[in-house]
Amino acid sequence: MITDPEDFFTKGCGRCARFGTPDCASQLWSYGLRRLRRICLDMGLEETVKWAHPTYLHKGRNIAILGAFRSDFRLSFMNPGLLNDAEGVLEPQGPNSRVPGALRFTDVAQISEMEPVIRDFLRQLMEHAEVGTKPPKVLVEIQMPDELVEALDTDPELAEAFHGLTPGRQRSYLFNLNQAKQSATRVARIEKFRDKIIAGKGAMER
């Protein structure tokens, strides 16, 4: 993966076989990504690479990160819970995002239209970084599938272990199970996860 921000704009992130080819998503949206980069640098943000993507910091805090996909390119804001999005233009960064924090673009012309908003969001986060404001905690209830409820009711050892997990580890299992469309799939996953739950691990831990 890349370590120099310039490589992202000329070759890509380095995470797939399209790296360094014209087919790389960062090359498909090169002009638009460079426009967003100029705005971030013009605001006085420090540019570095994190997670193989150009990331912009202020006072040591992550402010925003650039991304490119086949269907769009985007500017995602860190700690979006601190933003005042009066126009409601922010979108979730992913299916499990709790707070909308991304601006997606499918046309370079959209950047000119959104530039005042982009600068306002960056300015807000820079001000929060300067005073050390923490984003509010967002508590989201995740539905526990019936199959897990039944498994916990019939397996005291599993129930004790599951309820002893940290909230984050519990959520990792709930997210995974809720993504399965078939009941049989959820039952199979619970059986597969049992040893990990007993061991106190999350769904993605080894």
19-34: pLDDT as tens digits = 999 999 999 999 999 9
Least confident of 11-20, 79-88, 91-100, 112-121: 91-100
Supply angle C-alpha 61, 102, 84, rounded to 5.
70
The yes-or-no verdict on residue 199 having pLDDT over 70 is yes
Q: Which residues pair with 105 in a beta bridge?
A: 73
d(CA 32, CA 111): 8
Hey, how many other C-beta atoms are within 10 angstroms of the C-beta on 145?
Answer: 19
Q: Which residues pair with 146 in a beta bridge?
A: none
In the prediction, which pLDDT does 92 show? 85
Residue 58 parent element (H or E) = strand 53-58
In the prediction, which pLDDT does 94 show? 66
DSSP string covering 130-188, please?
HHTPPPPP-----PPPHHHHHHHHH-HHHHHHHHTS-HHHHHHHHHHHHT--SHHHHHH
The yes-or-no verdict on residue 38 having pLDDT over 70 is yes
In the prediction, which pLDDT does 206 show? 80
Give the model's confidence band at 47: pLDDT under 50 very low, under 70 low, under 90 confident, else very high. very high
pLDDT digits (tens, 9 = 90+) for 143-196: 889 999 989 888 888 988 998 898 889 989 999 999 998 999 999 999 999 999
Q: Which residues pair with 46 in a beta bridge?
A: 57
Residue 99: partners with Cβ closer than 8 Å, 6 or more residues away: 80, 81, 92, 135, 138
pLDDT digits (tens, 9 = 90+) for 95-151: 556 678 999 999 999 999 999 999 999 999 999 999 999 887 655 567 889 999 989
The Cα diameter of the chain in Å comes to 60
